[in-house]
C-alpha cells in the first residue's frame, strides 16, 4: 500500500536555464496555477471512481494514452525557470511513459479483509504523498478489490495547477461514452437561461410610460442592492482573512495545519431525483438542498456526540467557504473536438469564493435547514463577492507574489469551519473502455481547512464526499451516516409538506 502513513520527500521542480523564448515550446504557468506549488497551498485533486466491473488495466491505459495525453498539460513537465529570477514555472513538453503514471498496487486480501476500510486507507495515504515532479503531475491508481460501493475503485490524482474542477471534469469525461449509445459522448447539464425568455416576452407586451418607469426603478433598486450586498460581503471576507474566525467546534482545523497533514475520505450516495423533489417543494435550488443537508448533518453530529451542554449551538458561528466556478461549463463534445485538434481545453484555474453562514442547531422541521440556506443563498445571488475575491487574488498575486497570495488563500479557509465544492457530472450512465461507471466522487488533498464537502452528480445519483484532517473527527463514518440520515429526514418532511399542499388544493 502506497504511503504507509509516512511523509515522503517532496522533489523540487526541475530547474532550467536555457533560453525559452519560444512560447510554443515552453509556456508560463498562469499565476493561480503557480500559486498551487507553494508549500502552504500544495493542493491535489482526487477523482475517486467506482466501477461496476473489475478493471482491465491495459484497456484503461490505452484509453488514457489516446485521449488524455493529447492535452499538453498532461504531457508536460512543470519546471522552474531561472532565466527571469521571479520564481516562474513553465510547461515543457515531454515523452510520457504510461507505466509511470498508471499504478496497480498489490493489495493482500482474504475472506476476513474489510475491503471498504482497505480502500479508505489507501486513499488516505495518497494525501500524504505527492507526484514526482520529474514527470507530468498526475497518476491513476487501480484498486481491483470489491467493496460495498463498487466492484473496483480507481483514483485519478492530478495537481490543481493543471486546472480547476470544471475544466478537468469535462476533460476526464471525454474518455467516456454513454452506455445507451457507446458512440456518443456524455453530456453535462447546462443551466438554461430563463431570464432571456422572460425578457423576450416582456418586450412583446405593449409598453407604456408607467411600465417603463417601473422597470427602471426596479433595475435601479437591484443595482443598489447588488452594490450594497457586495460591499458588505467583501468587507466580511476581508475581516475573515484578518481576524474573524468561526467558533471552536469538532470541525475546526487543527492549529498549525500544513499540506502534508493526512486526510481521510468517505462518500455517501443519495438519489438525485429526491434532491430535485426537495428543491421543488421548497422552491429552492439544488445547491440550497445540498447545503441544507450539510448543516443538518453537522447539527445532528454535534447534538448526538456532545449534547447541548458542550456547545452553545444558537450562538455558534459556523460558516461555509463555498468555491464557485466563474467560467462557462465546457461541454464534453467541445472538449473532445478541441482535443482532436490538439487545442488547449484547460486555461488555468478560474474560481472565486463566497462565505455562507450555517445554522448549527436542532430544528423542529428538517425542511427549515433548506429554507434557511435558501435565504442566505438568494442574497448571495445578488452579490459579486465571488467575482471580487477572484480579481482581488489576481491583484494580490501581482503585488505580493506567490508566497503572499498563497498565505492569503490559506487564511480564509482556515478561519471558516468547512469548504464546499459542487461539480456537475454527466446526465447519463457512462463507461470507459467498456467499464461501466458506478459513481464518481471528487475530493482534494492539501486544502487548508479542517473539513471539506464535495458534491458531484452522476446520472440519477448525487454523491457527498467528506474529507477531514485525521484526528479531527474520530468517527468519520458516523458523520457520513449523519449525511444520509439528514437527507432521509428532509426528504420525509418534503413528502409530508407536498401531501398537505395537495390536500389544500
- What amino acid positions are annotated as catalytic residues? 160
- The answer to whether residues 418 and 452 touch, using CB atoms and an 8 Å cutoff, is yes
All three cell numbers of 219, joined, read 433595475
- Encode burial over 26-42: b for 16+ CB neighbours within 10 A, e otherwise: bbbbbbbbbbbbbebbb
User: Phi and psi (nearest 5°) for 211?
Assistant: -65, -40
Phi, psi of 291 (to 5 degrees): -70, -35
Asked if 473 and 458 touch (Cβ cutoff 8 Å), the reply is no
Neighbours of 95 (CB within 10 A): 7
- Give CA separation, 191 vs 171, 285, 286, 329, in Å: 19, 12, 12, 9
Dihedral, CA of residue 498, residue 502, residue 503 and residue 505, to nearest 10:
140
Element (H, E) at 226: helix 209-242
CA 182 – CA 84 distance, rounded (Å): 49
**Residue in the block written with cell 482474504:** 110
Burial category of 332 from C-beta neighbours within 10 Å (exposed 0-12, middle 13-18, buried 19 and up): buried
Contact 133, 95 (CB under 8 A): no
Beta carbons of 187 and 428 less than 8 angstroms apart = yes
In 3D space, the residue among 407, 401, 458, 473 whose CA is nearest the CA of residue 428 turns out to be: 458
Amino acid at each position: 500500500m502506497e504511503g504507509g502513513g509516512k511523509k515522503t520527500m517532496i522533489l523540487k521542480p526541475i530547474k532550467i536555464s536555457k533560453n525559452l523564448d519560444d512560447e510554443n515550446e515552453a509556456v508560463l504557468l498562469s499565476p493561480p496555477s503557480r500559486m498551487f506549488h507553494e508549500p502552504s497551498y500544495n493542493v491535489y485533486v482526487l477523482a475517486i471512481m467506482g466501477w461496476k466491473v473489475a478493471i482491465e488495466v491495459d484497456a484503461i491505459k490505452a484509453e488514457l494514452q489516446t485521449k488524455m495525453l493529447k492535452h499538453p498539460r498532461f504531457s508536460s513537465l512543470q519546471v522552474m525557470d531561472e532565466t527571469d529570477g521571479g520564481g516562474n514555472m513553465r510547461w515543457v513538453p515531454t515523452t510520457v511513459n504510461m507505466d509511470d503514471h498508471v499504478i496497480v498496487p498489490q493489495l493482500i486480501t482474504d475472506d476476513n479483509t474489510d475491503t471498504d476500510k482497505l480502500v479508505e486507507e489507501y486513499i488516505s495515504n495518497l494525501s500524504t504523498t505527492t507526484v514526482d515532479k520529474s514527470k507530468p503531475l498526475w497518476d491513476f491508481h487501480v484498486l481491483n478489490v470489491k467493496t460495498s460501493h463498487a466492484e473496483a475503485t480507481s483514483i485519478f490524482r492530478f495537481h490543481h495547477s493543471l486546472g480547476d474542477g470544471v475544466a478537468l471534469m469535462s476533460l476526464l469525461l471525454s474518455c467516456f461514452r454513454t452506455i445507451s449509445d457507446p458512440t456518443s459522448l456524455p453530456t453535462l447539464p447546462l443551466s438554461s437561461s430563463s431570464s432571456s425568455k422572460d425578457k423576450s416576452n416582456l418586450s412583446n407586451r405593449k409598453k407604456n410610460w408607467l411600465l417603463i418607469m417601473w422597470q427602471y426603478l426596479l433595475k435601479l433598486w437591484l443595482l443598489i442592492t447588488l452594490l450594497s450586498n457586495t460591499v458588505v460581503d467583501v468587507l466580511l471576507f476581508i475581516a475573515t482573512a484578518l481576524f474573524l474566525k468561526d467558533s471552536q467546534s469538532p470541525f475546526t482545523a487543527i492549529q498549525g495545519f500544513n499540506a502534508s497533514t493526512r486526510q481521510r475520505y468517505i462518500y455517501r450516495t443519495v438519489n438525485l431525483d429526491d434532491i430535485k423533489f426537495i428543491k421543488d417543494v421548497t422552491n429552492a435550488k439544488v445547491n440550497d438542498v445540498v447545503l441544507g443537508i450539510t448543516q443538518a448533518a453537522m447539527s445532528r453530529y454535534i447534538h448526538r456526540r456532545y449534547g447541548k451542554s458542550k456547545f452553545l449551538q444558537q450562538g455558534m458561528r459556523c460558516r461555509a467557504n463555498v468555491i464557485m466556478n466563474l467560467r462557462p461549463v465546457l461541454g464534453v463534445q467541445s472538449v473532445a473536438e478541441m482535443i482532436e485538434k490538439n487545442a488547449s481545453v484547460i486555461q488555468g484555474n478560474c474560481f472565486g469564493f463566497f462565505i455562507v453562514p450555517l445554522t448549527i442547531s436542532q430544528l423542529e422541521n428538517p425542511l427549515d435547514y433548506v429554507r434557511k440556506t435558501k435565504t442566505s443563498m438568494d442574497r448571495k445571488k445578488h452579490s459579486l463577492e465571488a467575482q471580487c475575491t477572484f480579481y482581488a487574488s489576481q491583484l494580490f498575486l501581482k503585488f505580493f507574489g506567490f508566497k503572499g497570495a498563497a498565505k492569503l488563500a490559506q487564511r480564509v479557509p482556515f478561519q471558516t469551519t468547512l469548504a464546499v465544492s459542487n461539480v456537475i457530472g454527466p446526465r447519463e450512465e457512462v463507461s470507459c473502455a467498456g467499464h461501466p461507471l458506478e459513481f464518481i466522487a471528487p475530493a482534494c488533498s492539501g486544502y487548508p481547512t479542517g473539513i471539506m464537502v464535495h458534491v458531484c452528480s452522476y446520472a440519477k445519483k448525487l454523491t457527498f464526499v467528506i474529507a477531514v484532517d485525521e484526528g479531527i473527527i474520530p468517527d468519520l463514518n458516523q458523520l457520513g451516516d449523519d449525511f444520509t440520515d439528514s437527507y432521509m429526514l428532509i426528504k420525509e418532511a418534503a413528502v409530508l409538506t407536498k401531501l398537505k399542499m395537495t390536500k389544500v388544493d
